[in-house]
Structure 1
Amino acid sequence: MGRIAVHEFVSLDGSYEDPSFTAAYGFTDGMAQALGALTGGSDAILLGRRTYEMFAPAWSTRTEEDDPGAPFFNDTPKHVVSSTRTAADEWQNSSVLGPYDAEAVRALKARSAGVYISGSGTLVRALLADGLVDELHLLVYPVVLGTGARLFPEGAPRVPLTLLDQERFDNGVLHLTYGQV
């Protein structure tokens, strides 16, 4: 059985909605190594519908020359959690898993070496509530945005986590890795 590893770019105040705020900090070699290790252990990608619809046009035309992560994102099977989509034809190796169903995710986890998730806040919150996240990787940027959707909005259920690891990159970004208690 594989692990489910979630990766999120967040501001200090928890905003994750529009990751364009990260551009001012660059992408360090350390960050590339950390995300490479995270994706390298995964043979499946799980995305919520909105994240899939943002990622598909952004990644589907990228090559390894454009971004070293392109082969992972384009070649790896992608599973979209959606109650409204019936197909995911615009990005190779993509399929619709259907509406959120913890048992369907458990089955995907059971047949995978590792499942990678990025963004997909609604999905991530549901997975955390169902105890399905093995690792929550937060790349926390040293900025308060004051706007944007929060990864954990007010009223979100309590989810106990334990700090598994931490790392500071040269640009001031912290990589915090949490596991569910």
Structure 2
Amino acid sequence: MRITLATFQSLDGVIQAPGTPLEDTSDGFEHGGWQFPYADADLETYGSKWFAEADGFLLGRRTYEIFANYWPTVTDENNLIAARLNALPKYVVSATLNSVEWHNTTLITSDVLEKIAELKARPGRELQIHGSGVLARSLLDHGLIDELRLWTYPVVLGTGKRLLEPGRTATALRLVESKATSSGCVLSVYQPAGRPTYGDFTKGTATP
């Protein structure tokens, strides 16, 4: 299976608490719910398109708890996102959870990279990560993510947790799709393209 990552971020890269004011107030974050004013039909269209490709989900603890408290309550049979999340296998990476209650959920507490590599090697379409910043950063650093789907919104927050914080493994990316939504969000789809390459404009040459 391919591992794909979808995340919402502000123009300055903040991914913390896009959905509700109380989603994640850690470190005194006061901008929770910043994504809501930009929700449009494109969000549902693309979200449903990608969820339809999922054969499983890989989640960090915080995202799991948010999802598990909400999506099982959505019983509309026409809601594809709820149907996929509630039915398909879910793998939760956590060092603090002792059990998971959501249907078809497996807890991963040790040997995380090895177990995720084993999941990735299984046949199937996509093992999807949504949000889950801590987990996503680790998997990016270890080259385990095959595609990044970044929703960048026209708002600057100034504070908050970021996906691409300093200290990440240097990685080149290839843009495979880009679209501006009706609300001004830019949806960019990237795939890893190995290590960055460098050059020198004063000499007009690439650096070996």
Q: TM-score, normalised by structure 1?
A: 0.91
1:82–1:100 CA contact under 8 A, matched in 2 = no
* CA distance in structure 2 between the partners assigned to 1:37 and 1:66 by the alignment: 14
CA drift at 1:86:
2.9
* Paired residues for 1:72-83 under 5 Å: 72-83=84-95
Which residue identity is paired with 1:94?
T
Which residue identity is paired with 1:104?
K
* CA distance in structure 2 between the partners assigned to 1:36 and 1:25 by the alignment: 17
Instruction: Tell me whether 1:164 sits opposite 2:176 in the alignment.
Output: yes
State the number of aligned residues. 178
Aligned to 1:172, what secondary structure does the other structure show? coil
Unmatched 5+ residue regions in structure 2?
A: 19-32, 194-208
**Matched residues, percent identical?**
38
- Residue of structure 2 equivalent to 1:99: 110
After superposition, the CA RMSD in angstroms is 1.6
Which residue identity is paired with 2:121?
A
* CA distance in structure 2 between the partners assigned to 1:22 and 1:50 by the alignment: 18
- Relative distance call for 1:100 and 1:55 in structure 2 (3 A) is farther
For the pair shown, the structure with the greater C-alpha radius of gyration is 2
* CA distance in structure 2 between the partners assigned to 1:37 and 1:5 by the alignment: 13
1:4–1:117 CA contact under 8 A, matched in 2 = yes
Greater RCO between the two (CA within 8 Å, min separation 6)? 1
1:165–1:176 CA contact under 8 A, matched in 2 = yes
Instruction: Tell me whether 1:39 sits opposite 2:72 in the alignment.
Output: no
Q: TM-score, normalised by structure 2?
A: 0.80
Instruction: Tell me whether 1:109 sits opposite 2:108 in the alignment.
Output: no
* Paired residues for 1:133-152 under 5 Å: 133-152=145-164
Unmatched 5+ residue regions in structure 1?
A: none
